């Protein structure tokens, strides 16, 4: 059985990757294809880790740190199902029930309970986070949280951010 461990290579080729099987891969897309063809996660290329920011490495979220393609596909399908069930109107409806500040976890838990989803059934938190960030970008809610951690000079980490509905001025 041939081992496939894909790693980035620095040199005159620009962005290139090499696999332990001896194949030199001339770019990210080629490396992702090689990983997928060999049942490896195409996000982390089978390494099981992802670099979130310089000097911050964590387990790959696309494959749950397994490095395998099956887990990546399972997660992608679960996220697609979450997109179908957890719509912007669902999140807006839950947010409208809160008079004061609310945490991401409160909205996610309310949605999970309302839809009757057991914990771990779907990636509810990541889907709700994405929609809350869209509401924030649209000016419908305002983030109240300070970052929990600074990662380098331009990256911040929020563990359970808190928002509040934006107030409209009656003139």
Q: What is the pLDDT of residue 119?
A: 86
Task: Give the span between the Cα atoms of 40 and 70, in whole angstroms.
Answer: 8
Whether 157 and 148 have beta carbons less than 8 Å apart is answered as yes
Gap between the terminal Cα atoms of the chain: 72
- Retrieve residue 163's tokens: 């928002």
pLDDT at position 81 is 94
Per-residue pLDDT of the chain (171 residues; tens, 9 = 90+): 567 888 888 765 677 898 989 888 888 899 999 999 999 999 999 999 988 777 778 889 888 899 999 999 998 999 999 999 999 999 999 999 998 999 999 999 999 999 999 888 889 999 999 999 999 999 999 999 877 677 666 776 677 899 999 875 444
**Residue 29 CB: number of other CB atoms within 10 A?**
11
3-state helix, strand, coil in the chain (%, to 5): 35, 20, 45
Residue 150: strand pairing partners: 156
Longest dimension (CA), the chain: 72
Q: What are the domain boundaries of the chain?
A: 6-68, 86-165
Topology of 86-165 in CATH? Arc Repressor Mutant, subunit A (1.10.10)
Nearest to 6 by CA among 14, 70, 65, 16: 16
């Amino acid at each position: 059985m041939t081992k496939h461990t894909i790693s980035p290579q620095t040199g005159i080729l620009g962005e290139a990757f090499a696999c332990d099987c001896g194949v030199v891969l001339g770019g990210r897309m080629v490396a992702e294809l090689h990983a997928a063809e060999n049942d490896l996660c195409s996000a982390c290329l089978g390494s099981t880790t992802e670099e979130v920011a310089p000097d911050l490495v964590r387990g790959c979220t696309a494959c749950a740190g397994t490095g395998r393609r099956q887990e990546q596909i399972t997660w992608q399908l679960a996220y697609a199902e979450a997109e179908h069930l957890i719509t912007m109107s669902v999140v807006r409806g839950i947010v409208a029930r809160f008079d004061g500040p609310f945490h991401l976890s409160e909205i996610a838990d309310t949605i999970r309970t309302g839809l009757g989803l057991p914990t771990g059934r779907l990636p509810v938190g990541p889907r709700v986070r994405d929609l809350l960030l869209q509401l924030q970008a649209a000016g419908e809610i305002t983030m109240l949280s300070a970052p929990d951690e600074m990662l380098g000079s331009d990256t911040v980490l929020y563990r359970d951010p808190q928002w509040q509905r934006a107030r409209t001025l009656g003139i």
